[in-house]
Amino acid sequence: MTKAQERAAARRRYERQQAALAQRRLDAARNKKVVVVVVAVLAVVALFVGLSGVIGKKPANKATPAAGTSPTTTVAGCAQPPSPLGTNAEGLKLPNKATAAGKTFTAVIGTNCGNLTVQLDGTKAPQAVASFLYLADQNYWVRSPCHRLTTEGIFVLQCGDPTGTGTGDPGYGFGVENAPKDSRYPRGTLAMARTADKVTGNGGQFFILYKDSTIQGGYTIFGKVTGGMDIVDKIAKAGVAGGGTDGTPAAPISMLTVSVTEKKG
């Protein structure tokens, strides 16, 4: 091979090496662009999924009970209650009080501590009882914590808010019925909790008296507990979470099921 041929061969090798190097650089640049595009797409997808999760959920109710902290323990005979499901108040409408007027009903409230049996008086409080029947039929109280216990001045266990915060309602309201003129509420009384508005302040929350109490302001008595007061007594004895006198029960109790039957005769 002549020197000219050797130089030509060397040039061709050099050119092939440079072409290969250029191709590698081109491939590397293209791969880098692909990675950037993929990362950008994944970021967009993640953002979309995140926004969908937020948009698809109702805003969390950040309100908390006025006093106390989270429940701390269970008492004998009570299982740990399930987490609240929240409120399903959309589309609920105040029922006609005629559905309960002049009638008496027995309701069994199943809780994580056993059953509470209550008698509902549709003669004295037809609207409150009609609402109770309706919300029970709508499964409004499934996995609904009893969020408030008071141990000084008045002695009540308050239930009926599916959010467990004390601020939930079924989306409608009604006025006070059958409030005692002497403001006295005997042990075992079942009464409606309400806002300051006596005309529309009643909703889905109610309270049970575990000791005789005098409560000013007028609250609807719509029934009484006829079985299971020992359960309420156990919860009351455990006190308020955090050691206060008005707040979340230290021993958690939740409504799991509610069944109602009309008493005949």
Biggest CA–CA distance in the chain, Å, is 127
Task: Give the pLDDT of residue 86.
Answer: 84
Alpha helices in 109-226 (DSSP H): 126-137
What's the DSSP call for residue 219? Answer: -
Of 130, 115, 128, 253, nearest to 202 by C-alpha is: 128
* 22 bridge partner residues: none
Contacts of residue 179, Cβ cutoff 8 Å, sequence gap at least 6: 218, 219, 220, 221
The helix/strand/coil state of 213 is: strand
Give the pLDDT of the chain (265 residues) as one tens digit per residue: 554 444 445 445 444 544 544 455 455 555 544 444 443 433 333 333 232 222 222 222 223 333 345 676 789 999 999 999 887 778 899 999 999 999 999 999 999 999 999 999 999 999 999 999 999 999 999 999 999 999 999 999 999 999 999 999 999 999 999 999 999 999 999 999 999 999 999 999 999 999 999 999 999 999 999 999 999 999 999 999 999 999 999 999 999 999 999 998 6
Rounded to whole angstroms, the Cα distance separating 118 from 259 reads 10
Other beta carbons within 10 angstroms of residue 91's beta carbon come to 7
The answer to whether 100 and 129 are in contact (CB under 8 A) is: yes
Nearest to 71 by CA among 208, 203, 247: 247
52 HSE (CA, 13 A, CB side): 6
pLDDT of residue 45: 33
What's residue 126's pLDDT?
98
Tokens of 196: 């300051």
Task: Report the half-sphere exposure of 83 (CA within 13 A, side-chain side).
Answer: 0
Task: State the Cα–Cα distance between residues 92 and 95, nearest whole angstrom.
Answer: 9
- 3-state SS, residue 70: coil
- How much is the pTM? 0.74
Instruction: State how beta strands 156-159 and 254-263 pair.
Output: unpaired
pLDDT of res. 162 = 94
